[in-house]
Amino acid sequence: MSHNFDEIIERRGTDSIKWSQFAPDIIPMWVADMDFRSPEPVIRALHERIDHGVFGYGDAGKELKDVICERLLNRYQWKVEPEEIVFLPNLVNGLFVAGKGIGEPTDRILVQTPVYGPFLMSADQAKRPMDVAELTKVTDGRKIRYEIDFDAFEAAITPQTSLFLLCSPHNPVGRVWERWELEKMAEICLRHNIVICSDEIHSDLIYSGYKHIPTATISPEVADNTITLLAASKTFNLPGLSLGFAIVKNPELRKRVTDTYSSMGVHISSLGFVATIAAYREGQPWLDDLLKYLEGNRDYLENYVAQNFPRILTTHQEGTYLGWLDCCAADIPGLPHEFFTQEARVAVTGGWFGQGCQGFVRMNYGCPRPVLVEALDRMHEALSRLG
């Protein structure tokens, strides 16, 4: 491995939300923000742009669209035209745009829980009611796995449901949906005239043995019914540069997205374009090494929990860098994420993945392994004090 992901980079005092949210003695493993330096080609491209010294309104969109089209064709044999790409400042913004722009004001939004909090927030932002189809948790020894109950999925749909927010790969449960699962969800949505908004921000973060399939590649009919949200931000650790994009093949849906987005008066930083172009063109060697490192972190986390936390279960993450821990049987007083923050001095995420998830925590292992080791040791010590 030619990149040193074990390097510990001091982020306190660098305007990092992740590291400034909590007291200095707390290890932050909550927000999906890795602690690794971005690829050298990205840093170099940003230096060159900054050294120019003039920061007027940018116009790198055409170049980036061509890069995106080439990348999607090479990775997925997915032919996307430049005019089908709509730039966004981030994918949470994309979820909110879909929630407000697709369907009528009285329509409903369908989500699967547990799920990343902004999926739930999108309905609130749009002032629309929400339909919830819970994923099914299956326990196998020390591991849990989430599956789709398609009968429950369809039963959650009402005549007013017009939009389904799909998380693929899934945050926080780490599933990389198989083709047959995507096909079944898409078929149900087509039959009920429900538009799919597929958040695929973690699609480049897939571990060996698994394969991401863009929802829109299932069939031309599904492509015509799908808004796909993508970004380089999670993949190459660029969230602070604020650039994502939607792929919308259907012209009518695309107009709804662009009209809603334009009404919000949001502008995208030119540095986001520079960084994304460099990442997609030259960042693959870094990403290849990153995936190997993250897979090692995932395995370390899962093995540590199995050996040292007898009443806590984990998923086997197929993608993302976010562990999902089931603490429901651990007899932890109060909410587990608050317990680990206060007693172990490790900040993990909890409380915003939907009803029934109060006993779970999400843990970001996108960090140098020594940091992960220390965090798990602290959590083990805190649990040991419970007796």
What the block records as the tokens of 102 is 């697709």
Mean pLDDT of 204-224: 98
pLDDT in tens, 37-57: 999 999 999 999 999 999 888
pLDDT on residue 58: 79
In sequence order, the 6+-apart residues with CB closer than 8 A to the CB of 260 are 97, 100, 101
The pLDDT value recorded for residue 263 is 77
Q: In CATH terms, are 17-39+284-384 and 46-282 the same topology?
A: no
φ and ψ of 322, to 5 deg = -120, 110
CATH topology of domain 46-282: Aspartate Aminotransferase; domain 2 (3.40.640)
| CATH 3.40.190.10 given to domain 17-39+284-384 | no
Confidence of residue 351 (pLDDT cuts 50, 70, 90): confident
C-beta of residue 228 within 8 angstroms of C-beta of residue 249: no
pTM summary value: 0.97
Report, as an integer, the average pLDDT of 197-203. Answer: 98
Q: Tell me what pLDDT residue 1 has.
A: 67
Tokens 């031309």 appear where?
A: 220
Inform me whether the pLDDT recorded for 269 exceeds 70.
yes
The confidence band for 110, taking pLDDT boundaries of 50, 70 and 90, is very high
**Is the pLDDT confidence value at 265 over 80?**
no
Q: Measured between alpha carbons, how far is 215 from 233 in angstroms, rounded to an integer?
A: 20
Show me where the domains of the chain are located. 17-39+284-384, 46-282
How far apart CA 192 and CA 332 sit, in angstroms, is: 43
**What is the pLDDT averaged over residues 233-252?**
96
